[in-house]
Amino acid sequence: MLNKGRFSGLGLVLILLSQVCFCRSSASKKPNIVLIVADDYGFNDVGYHNSDMMTPNLDKLANTGVKLENYYVQPVCTPSRSQLMTGRYQIHTGLQHSVIFNAQRHCLPLDEVTLPEKLKQVGYSTHIVGKWHLGFYRKECLPTYRGFDTHYGYYCGNEDYYTKKVCSVYPGWKYSGKFCALDFHDNEDPVWSANGTYSTYLYSARASDVILEHDISKPLFLYLPFQSVHFPLQAPQHYIDMYSHVKDKNRRIYSAMVTAMDDAVGMVVQALENKGMMDDTIIVFTTDNGGQTFEGGSNWPLRGRKASLWEGGIRAVGFVHGYGVNDPGRTSRELFHISDWFPSLLHIAGGNTNGTKPLDGQNVWDAIANPDTKSPRTEILHNIEPMFTRPYGGDPKLKPFPNKYGINTTKGHAALRMGKWKLHTGDPGHDTWDPTPKIYLTRNVNFTCLQYQDKCNLYEMDDSSVRLYDLEADPEERSNVALHFPHVVDRMLLRLAEYNATAVPVDWPGPDENCNPALHGGYWQPWVA
């Protein structure tokens, strides 16, 4: 599975792995779970969706597992990760708006029960290697206080892949970009020696160590949220050279980052195989949101990108491989959502949801594991976000949509999936279809009209504040049929109003200049006792 020649700099680790022989673990009542999250990974950026992308390890896992082709996440990082960890919609945790920035006194609410906490109750060893992005202003917010035995990685939303430095961020704040420091930790200790090594290498090596050192008398939960392929666009040169034929610079580097991540996944699989754990392990792969198109990502042919509620922002690359998957090598088009991993993985682990707050996630494991089982999920609340403004351009002027449910259809944005229907209210966000840059094009060329002339005139600005799409007939969201199906619109607006009645207020505090790492050891760490 692993192309060793591509992973320059880690050859010694691979040699050591290949020469270690372990006896296969005894049949386990509880499977090991490896949950891999790619960051800002576009729908069109995996090899089995786009042959231009070199992802042999991901492709092999997906093609010998079950590909989830009607699977949804949230449009930005923190909300997806919060729903993954709690099984609860962000309208119920106060995380409806944006992401947690490193200057905020903010984190996943401390009264929420997390997936690793529940897995520990049934005997799992729990480890996180990679990105947290659920807040760290006080130590109780840290991964090792939220159910993980160990954490190796970073707290913030993004950082330099080599230096591991990140600067203070909060929209419009006078100190944004002013406080810059290391954000890389081994549990709560800073790892200064990480400076200079590409983070993907560090994560694959540490994840492999966690597996090789694991006591197989206990089940393992390894949460592996990669930094890849979030900006900044950085990759080792030998990966970039693999895409030298790609003229678009952003796309070239982004593609290199994808392949480096793919090799890292291959190395983790190699460790599982050498440890004798592969047959007893479930591997779940998901992205956290759609690709960022101006940072090299592609969601083609879906409309929109990261931070939008269009399909391109929320329809995800996802698959499950290994233990418990019957009739592998298939594709499922059943409806699944990122919040479903909480109850589904607890189910396969022999746990329960006792003590949690009411879940929005559903146990969909049987529908994943068995080809003839229908998903119990029939609808998804993508979000109700009263504070949304388009992050990379002004809001369009929307026409109010009269309704009897008290919904302000011009403010913020919301989206709801019910069966084949998807309803948008407000401004869904970046609203175009962005074809993948072709190998002979540059960023100065209008590649949409050059390569797809038949599609250039299909899009016209829609100033409707309510839009309805039949995703079975129109997965690219090109034809707003709200005026043709008023009874569907009415039913879905009522459902949105019902959800909104259960929402807690948005919790999004302002910045705190006391976050300055210079006041706290020179690196990013909790600053409130």
Average pLDDT over residues 452-467: 59
Q: Is 5 domain-assigned?
A: no
**Contact call for residues 64 and 70 (beta carbons, < 8 A):** no
Q: Is the pLDDT of residue 431 over 60?
A: yes
**Residue 28 pLDDT more than 90?**
no
Residues 210 and 339 occupy one common structural domain:
yes
Bridge partners (DSSP) listed for residue 418: 379, 421
* Separation between Cα atoms, residue 113 and residue 355, nearest integer Å: 8
> Is residue 489 over pLDDT 70?
yes
Catalytic residue among 92, 127, 133, 185: 133
Same domain? For 72 and 111 the reply is yes
> pLDDT-derived band of residue 423, with 50, 70 and 90 as boundaries?
very high
Q: Which two tokens stand for residue 182?
A: 């290391």
Q: Greater confidence, 495 or 406?
A: 495
Of the ranges 2-6, 269-273, 281-285, 442-446, which one carries the lowest mean pLDDT score? 442-446
Confidence of residue 392 (pLDDT cuts 50, 70, 90): low
CA distance 391 to 381: 22
Residue with more model confidence, 402 or 184: 184
pLDDT in tens, 143-169: 999 999 999 999 999 999 999 999 999
Task: Answer whether residue 19 is part of any domain.
Answer: no
Q: Is residue 22 part of a domain?
A: no
Out of 49, 77, 167, 214, pick the active-site residue.
77
We report the CATH number of the domain holding residue 435 as 3.30.1120.10
pLDDT of residue 395: 60
Residues 6+ apart with CB under 8 A from 224: 34, 35, 36, 37, 128, 129, 130, 203, 207, 268
Q: Is 133 a catalytic residue?
A: yes
Domain-located, residue 234? yes
Give me the residues paired with residue 185 across strands.
Answer: 153, 190
Find the domain containing 235 and state its range.
30-378+508-519
Q: Is residue 20 part of a domain?
A: no
Answer whether residue 144 is part of any domain: yes
Across 453-466, b (16+ Cβ under 10 Å) vs e yields: eeeeeeeeeeebbb
How many Å apart are CA 263 and CA 1, to the nearest integer? 9
Between residues 443 and 516, the one the model is more confident about: 516
pLDDT for res 461 = 54
Whether the pLDDT of residue 21 is over 60: the answer is no
Count of CB atoms within 10 A of residue 472's CB? 11
Same domain, yes or no: 125 and 56: yes
- If asked whether residues 86 and 177 sit together in one domain, one would say yes
Is 240 found in the same domain as 105? yes
Element (H, E) at 382: strand 379-385
Asked if 357 and 390 sit in the same domain, the reply is no
**What is the per-residue pLDDT across 46-90, written as a single tens digit (0 to 9) for each?**
999 999 999 999 999 999 999 999 999 999 999 999 999 999 999
Query: Does 61 share its domain with 144?
Result: yes
| Whole-structure pTM value | 0.92
User: Based on the domain organization, do 372 and 388 belong to the same domain?
Assistant: no
296 pLDDT above the threshold of 90:
yes
Q: Are residues 465 and 515 in the same domain?
A: no
Q: Are residues 163 and 206 in the same domain?
A: yes
pLDDT at res. 378? 98
Domain match, 78 and 149 both: yes
Q: Would you call 77 a catalytic residue per the annotation?
A: yes
Residues 405 and 370 in one domain: no
CATH number at residue 81: 3.40.720.10
What's the structural domain count of the chain?
A: 2
